[in-house]
Each structure stands twice: as C-alpha cells, then as structure tokens.
Amino acid sequence: MELISENRAFGGRHLRYEHEASTTQCKMTFAVYLPPFASADKPVPVLYWLSGLTCTDQNFMQKAGAMKLASELGMAIVAPDTSPRGDNIPDDDNGAYDFGLGAGFYVDATQAPWNTHYQMYSYVTEELPQLVEANLPVTKERAISGHSMGGHGALVIGLRNPNRYVSVSAFSPISNPSDCPWGQKALGNYLGSDESEWEKYDTAKLLAGATHSIPLLVEQGSKDEFLAEQLKPQSLVHAAQKTNTQLTLNMHEGYDHSYFFIASFIDEHLAFHAGHLGLI
C-alpha cells in the first residue's frame, strides 16, 4: 500500500493510503487515524467506520470530530471508500447517487456487470483488515460503526461476524433494506431478484435470527429526512425483541441526517466501543 497524504492531528496522524485490491479488482483508497504513541510495540485496536451514499474515505475524517477522543482513548479509526472506483468501474446508468459508484452497499455482488468489482463485503471484512493489521501498528481487535448505508454495512457485518468485532454501532442506518427504495434498488441490482439472497444483507432479518449476541448501539435523529421511507429503525426494535439481543436505540429530537448529527454524538459511540475494546 502507498501513502498518499499525511496530516498531524491531535498528536496522532491522519493517513490516506492507496492499494490494488484483489477483492474489488481496482485501486482502493482508505484513511486511517492513528492515535499518539501507537507503535509496533504498543499496537492499538481499530474502529472501522463505513460511510454513507456519495461519501469517500474523507467525509468522516474531516467532519465527524472523532479524532480528539480517539487520540485520548488510544483507538485507531479506519475509513474505507464506499465502492470500487475508476473509469472502468460500471456505474448507475443515470449516474444516480444511490447505486454504483459511491454506493457499494457493502455487499458482494453476484450479478453482472456488478460482480467483477462490487465486492465491498469481502473487502471490508477480509482484505482491508488483513492489510491494515499487517502494515500498521494495530491489534486484531475490531469494532465497527457507520452512517446510513454505512450504518447498514456496520450492522450487517457485526451481526454476521460476532467473533471478529467486539461491538457494532450505527448512526441513521438503513435498517431493513429489503423494505425500502434505496435497499431494493441496490440489492435487486447487485444480488438479483431472488429476495432470499437479500436476507444476509438485511439487518432487521439478521437480527431476528441472531444466535450470537453482540453489543449494538444505534443513534437516530427525529428530523432525519430519510427516516420514514428509507431507514425504518423500528424494524430493529421489533427484530431485537424476538431474540436476546441487547439493542440500544437512541432517538434524538430535532436532529437530521447530516454529519452535524454524527459529530454531536460520536463521542458516545467511541466510548461505547472503547469499553468493549478494553480501552476504558
């Protein structure tokens, strides 16, 4: 992997890397925040952050205000891009923001032409952590969080890999993608029309069938413009009630879908993950 930029921040380092990814068969960019004193002798655990539609590795690092507490806690943050990228990567026919580039939905596509490059589930769960753990001063302890499409990705990944991630959280996640326009478009195109194939990427369905427990924390704003049509967090509550899963869903009066909402509550999520990562 190749370092493409570095900024000192809160005593630590914000790093951006490029690498040729075998899962997505293209060059991928990701960002890392390394807290002060992270070293091969003193590696730190990692919070993976998955961003939402249209985002890259940069939105969270620039806008979430997470580095201050991550620096104090001694937690690394890794933020991948939201899809494969490049001139040869197929995109939505109409260039829509909700499918294709910037909208990988954290699935392994099975349908042509998407299946060649759109393998974001494998990239995020396998290739990227292996690369990070082999090359940066981090432990193999992982937590995961994300926003909107990335909240969906984080919840799906945490629920399907409870032994690989100690905790999972989400802001404004697409909770039941089988039952909303964004999810139906993405899952239908990437996975095909057989809806049984969608279930392993649907948090509400995974949660209803969960046999392993993983700590779950979800934040949602009441004035989120996508709440009723796309996000449907009540589907998580209904699903969790069917199992022993401990889900905390915090509703916040007046907050919207923006990074101002994430910034307002990111410290609570960092502290939640830090507790499960043994940092506090």
Catalytic residue IDs: 148, 224, 257
Stretch that binds a copy of itself, among 80-88, 135-143, 209-217, 248-256 (CB under 8 A): 248-256
Distance CA 35, CA 33 (A): 6
Q: Is 263 in the site for a copy of itself (CB under 8 A)?
A: yes
Nearby residues of 61 by Cβ (< 8 Å), 6 or more positions away: 14, 31, 33, 67, 77, 79
Q: Is 95 in the site for a copy of itself (CB under 8 A)?
A: no
Closest by CA to 78, choosing from 9, 127, 129, is: 129
Query: Whole-number minimum distance, CB 100 to a copy of itself, in Å?
Result: 26
Q: Is 277 in the site for a copy of itself (CB under 8 A)?
A: no
Taking CA atoms, 41 is separated from 37, 137, 150, 246, in Å, by 9, 8, 32, 35
Cβ pair 172, 269 in contact under 8 A: no
User: Distance between alpha carbon 129 and the CA centroid of its chain, in Å?
Assistant: 13
Q: Can you tell me which of 19, 27, 68, 185 binds a copy of itself, judged by CB under 8 A?
A: 68
Query: Whole-number minimum distance, CB 66 to a copy of itself, in Å?
Result: 9
Distance CA 107, CA 103 (A): 10
Q: Is 258 in the site for a copy of itself (CB under 8 A)?
A: yes
Query: Whole-number minimum distance, CB 234 to a copy of itself, in Å?
Result: 21
Distance CA 77, CA 34 (A): 7
Residues 193-222 binding a copy of itself (CB under 8 A) are 221
How many residues belong to the site for a copy of itself (CB under 8 A)? 23
Q: Is 135 in the site for a copy of itself (CB under 8 A)?
A: no
Stretch that binds a copy of itself, among 8-16, 128-136, 144-152, 272-280 (CB under 8 A): 8-16
Q: Is 60 in the site for a copy of itself (CB under 8 A)?
A: no
Q: Look at residue 29 and give its three-state secondary structure.
A: strand
Tell me the H-state helices in 46-199: 58-63, 67-73, 120-122, 128-135, 149-160, 181-191
Query: Whole-number minimum distance, CB 172 to a copy of itself, in Å?
Result: 13
Closest by CA to 185, choosing from 253, 275, 93, is: 93
Q: Is 9 in the site for a copy of itself (CB under 8 A)?
A: yes
Nearby residues of 145 by Cβ (< 8 Å), 6 or more positions away: 47, 48, 49, 50, 151, 154, 168, 169, 170, 171, 269, 273
Query: Whole-number minimum distance, CB 127 to a copy of itself, in Å?
Result: 27
Q: Is 72 in the site for a copy of itself (CB under 8 A)?
A: no
Stretch that binds a copy of itself, among 17-25, 57-65, 127-135, 237-245 (CB under 8 A): 57-65
Q: Is 54 in the site for a copy of itself (CB under 8 A)?
A: no
Residues that bind a copy of itself (CB under 8 A): 7-11, 14, 62-63, 65, 67-68, 221, 223, 252, 254-256, 258-261, 263-264
